[in-house]
Structure 1
């Protein structure tokens, strides 16, 4: 990965964190719609910039739209099971086969688009960041190779189930009085343990089911059209 792309990824994460901080401190979590839109736009910046710089930009956009639609649809289909959804698995596969920026974009857009139906709120930016960072990590060059091994993929599925819950518990604590308290955070994580286990289980199940068929198709498209190469 080039130094420019590394810096782009770092700036993307810092920008997302900065926007979340802005929403909490300056707007007291009341302008969550504005913050969510700004985060979505910031996630798109690398692709807007690359649109005229690389070949296959339209193919990139279409494939990103398809993966985002799959993740949103998966959240709807499993709506009756709050913690058991294929969203994280699809975001991980997006990062694995399309790169870090694509993983962040699919994750963040999935949160804001699906929440148009599930309900927007101050939690939306946190969901956008949580799913976005999970997709970004999966899209790092070293991770893309490692995660193609089934044991590593299972471990990452378990880890991201914990990570998603841990990041969302930050919002849980901040929503109480606007400040972060470590003991409240640990208590929130402990209380959320059953749901966290459900997240972990769902990630492993859906990764094992989807990694083969979806992974083969994404790899075929990537090789055939020469897009999303590092």
Structure 2
């Protein structure tokens, strides 16, 4: 992994961690899932999985560790992996699809996190259904953050990548 990609991942991780901490007062609303999706779509599945591990570990150092950290890592890692695969397979992805995918990921994240309770108590349905309102908050938050972050982050990443590519070719 080149220094540019590492620096970009560090900046995106810092943005997600600060955003998660800043929105802690609104249940299940944070920019983490949207930033992981954007990273997967633009930089690939490997970068998105690394970012999900970094964000989960560092943000939970601030917000508190527990058994749920394992499932957060799994959920965000899968979301990053799927986003990266979508970004690698399709060259042009419509923005409404990206927003819809971020909404879907809010509910998918909730499903995976509900497995925490199943792991501990053996009960799943009651915990999952009682958490649907929180999953809806997450899904709506993902859509809002995606509408705000995707145009900005994708423009900057693609512009910097194009400038870096142009400089490399000029040096030859």
TM-score > 0.5, shorter chain as reference: yes
RMSD of aligned Cα (Å): 1.4
Q: How does 1:46-85 map to 2 (within 5 A)?
A: 51=1, 57-85=2-30
Question: Would you say 1:204 and 2:124 are equivalent positions?
Answer: no
**Structure 1 regions of 5+ residues with no counterpart?**
1-50, 52-56
Q: Partner of 1:126 in structure 2? A: 71
Q: Kindly state the Cα deviation for residue 225 of structure 1 after the two structures are TM-superposed.
A: 2.3
Question: Would you say 1:195 and 2:140 are equivalent positions?
Answer: no
Q: How does 1:217-228 map to 2 (within 5 A)?
A: 217-226=156-165
Give yes or no for contact 2:27–2:137 (8 Å, CA) kept in 1. Answer: no
Say which structure is richer in helix. 2
C-alpha separation in 1, matches of 2:5 and 2:102: 25
Query: 1:136-191 CA deviation, whole Å, 9 max, x = no partner?
Result: 21111125x35x31121121011100110000001111122xxxx5xx32222111
Q: Partner of 1:87 in structure 2? A: 32
Query: 1:121-148 CA deviation, whole Å, 9 max, x = no partner?
Result: 11111111111111121111125x35x3
Q: Partner of 2:169 in structure 1? A: none
Q: How does 1:130-141 map to 2 (within 5 A)?
A: 130-140=75-85, 141=88
Question: Would you say 1:108 and 2:47 are equivalent positions?
Answer: no
Q: Kindly state the Cα deviation for residue 224 of structure 1 after the two structures are TM-superposed.
A: 2.5
Number of paired residues?
Answer: 163
